[in-house]
Structure 1
Amino acid sequence: METQPITMPRIGDIAPDFEAMTTTGKIKFSDYIKGKWTILFSHPADFTPVCTTEMSGFALDQKFFDKHDTKLIGLSIDSIHAHIAWVNNVKKNTGILFEFPIIADIDMKVSKLYGMLQPGESETAAVRAVFFIDPNGKIRLIMYYPLNVGRNMEEIKRVLIALQTADKYKVALPLNWTPGDKAIVPPPKTVEEMIEREASDYEMVDFYLAKKELPLN
């Protein structure tokens, strides 16, 4: 049996817009994300163990995302009633409250729009997708995980800071970069820039690979 090709946004695309009901009320996505960094993430289903650990992880790090001016919004192919019941259940059992909105995507509209529904994995549950969207509404980074492997919250936080840092200082960031590490300066585009670079205080590996310290925030 032939499977339909999956359409999904790509890095550099403007995040597709939609309207949906969430645990904090009805939203228009373009209004919700306007002028803010946003992380949109999907989970396969409410009342499931791995998803509970992941959503709890986002909730426990809410202050981190607030500090970095980033909104959170979750999604699964469940009804708003199931979402509310799950939020209540987790709060009662663990004391953790999911304050960020969770999209009720019972008709799978948003899941299909964002390529979260992948038939080779499941035809009725969204994979664990993570979309990083910048204040201009552009998708900057995408992660996909299968149903049976939870995400790494430290990596999600690391790449958010990396994206914001790269934008702020107009630099690139090397393998395993974390805050406090040196950043890569873009390669010279002229001979004059090359000569200026050689006279700079950059860490010079070669003329095309130079690193510099960044201010500590």
Structure 2
Amino acid sequence: MPRIGDKAPDFNAVTTTGKLQFSEYAKDSWVVMFSHPADFTPVCTTEMSAFAVEKDWFTERNTKLLGLSIDSIHSHLAWVNNVREKTGVYLDFPIIADIDMSVSKLYGMLHPGESATAAVRAVFFIDPKGVTRLLMYYPMNVGRNMDEIKRALVALQTSDEHKCPLPIDWRPGDKAIVPPPKTLKQLEERNANTEYEKVDFYLAKKAI
């Protein structure tokens, strides 16, 4: 099971868009990989549809989507077709048919206390260097929050770009945290800076 900061494990898989080598699929882009317990289930249908609706938003941010459940490729294809027929939403991103549970086990998506044969609602944020940057886990009976998934991705990308941490509930346009001073010189420079929003010497914010 990868942890934050670990290299995302590579794998081969059969998906709804064909065979996939993860390292090739993820090359030079962010990947949001997410699992769902089963095809033809209500909560999963709402979640997968939400990802499909937001696919262009993710693409604009150099991010690819990758779904997974422990179902056959035939079940996946039938479900994708059913969802499009009933709702008009096309799940056209790759969905892994993890029938042997190999990817689910590799990524720690199986939580025996919840189920030994169905993946929980896991979300993995993987950066263009192939590093796992953020993990989310939801139980089978509670759907994920798409707004938080999008907010977290933008926050990760913004923090990388500006080399600064971000405060609670950060949104685009909000101020960022100024890294704490590590020397007396940096402390004096911070105290003299009139552009920072300062609470104390260790907590200051700046516009980015």
Same fold (TM over 0.5): yes
- Which residue of 1 is the match for residue 49 of structure 2? 56
SS of 1:192's partner is helix
- State the SS of the aligned residue for 2:156: helix
Instruction: Tell me, in whole angstroms, the C-alpha distance in 2 between the residues paired with 1:209 and 1:38.
Output: 32
Matched position secondary structure for 1:72: strand
Distance in 1 between the 2:174 and 2:67 partners?
Answer: 31
Matched, 1:210 2:199: no
Post-superposition offset of 1:197: 1.2
Q: Which residue of 2 aligns with 1:16?
A: 9
Q: Distance in 2 between matches of 1:99 and 1:199?
A: 54
Please give the alpha-carbon distance, in whole angstroms, between the structure 1 residues aligned to 2:11 and 2:59: 24
Is 1:140 paired with 2:102? no
CA–CA separation in structure 2 for the residues paired with 1:40 and 1:62: 13
Q: For structure 1, list consecutive stretches of 5 or more residues without a partner in the other structure.
A: 1-7
Deviation at 1:173, TM superposition (A): 0.7
Q: Report Cα offsets for 1:105-157 as digits up to 9, x if no partner.
A: 00000000011011110011100000000010000000000010000000000
RMSD of equivalent CA atoms? 0.6
**Equivalent residue in structure 1 for 2:150, among 140, 157, 165:** 157
Q: Among the aligned pairs, what percent are the same residue?
A: 70
The residue aligned with 1:5 is none
Match of 1:66, SS state, is helix
Which of 104, 110, 117 is equivalent to 2:97?
104
Q: Partners in 1 of 2:81 and 2:27 — Cα distance?
A: 29
Which amino acid is 1:165 matched to? Answer: T
Distance in 2 separating the partners of 1:137 and 1:196: 36
From 6, 18, 23, the counterpart of 1:25: 18
Mapping 1:114-133, distance limit 5 Å: 114-133=107-126
1:202 corresponds to which letter in structure 2?
A: Y
- Counterparts of 1:120 and 1:204, CA distance in 2: 46
CA shift for structure 1 position 35 = 1.0
Q: 2:182 aligns with which of 174, 182, 189?
A: 189
Amino acid at match of 1:100: F
Q: Which of structure 1's runs of 4+ aligned residues deviate more than 3 A?
A: none
Give the TM-score, by structure 1 length: 0.94
Q: Distance in 2 between matches of 1:50 and 1:67?
A: 26
Distance 2:60 2:21 in 1: 24
Count of aligned residue pairs for this structure pair: 207
